[in-house]
Each structure stands twice: as structure tokens, then as C-alpha cells.
Structure 1
């Protein structure tokens, strides 16, 4: 049982880190698009 709990915690941590990474990548893409529009517009 304790092994399963450890695996679950690791999986949850990985999932949270992955979501944070996606958010950062997405935010950077939005910022880059916005600055490109400003320069081009």
C-alpha cells in the first residue's frame, strides 16, 4: 500500500510540474505573439 502511495505522489508531482510547464510555454507564446503584433501593427 505504501509503495502505491509513493507512486501516486510521484505521478501527481510530475503531472503538476507538466501543467506548470505547459502554462509557462503557453504564456510565453502569447506574449511573443502580442509583441510581434505590436511591432508589425
Structure 2
């Protein structure tokens, strides 16, 4: 997708997806750390 043709909606959707992915990775990392510490 070329930046010039991207609408503001595309930008918002992509930003939310990126934030969601970062949050998910961080959450999985925390759970993995807690799981290792628990055992």
C-alpha cells in the first residue's frame, strides 16, 4: 500500500494493529516470565 493513496482510516487501522501486536507480545513475554518464575 503506497503512503500517498492511504486514507486516514487506513493509517488509524494500521496504527491500532501495530499497538495491538506490541501489547500482545509484551503480554506473552510477561506471562512467560511469570510462568518460569512460578516453576
Instruction: Give yes or no for TM over 0.5.
Output: yes
Aligned length: 35
Could you say which structure has the larger radius of gyration?
A: 1
Over 4 Å off, 4+ runs: none
Name the TM-score, length of structure 1 as normaliser. 0.78
The two structures, once aligned, show a CA RMSD in angstroms of 1.6
Name the TM-score, length of structure 2 as normaliser. 0.81
Higher helix share: 1
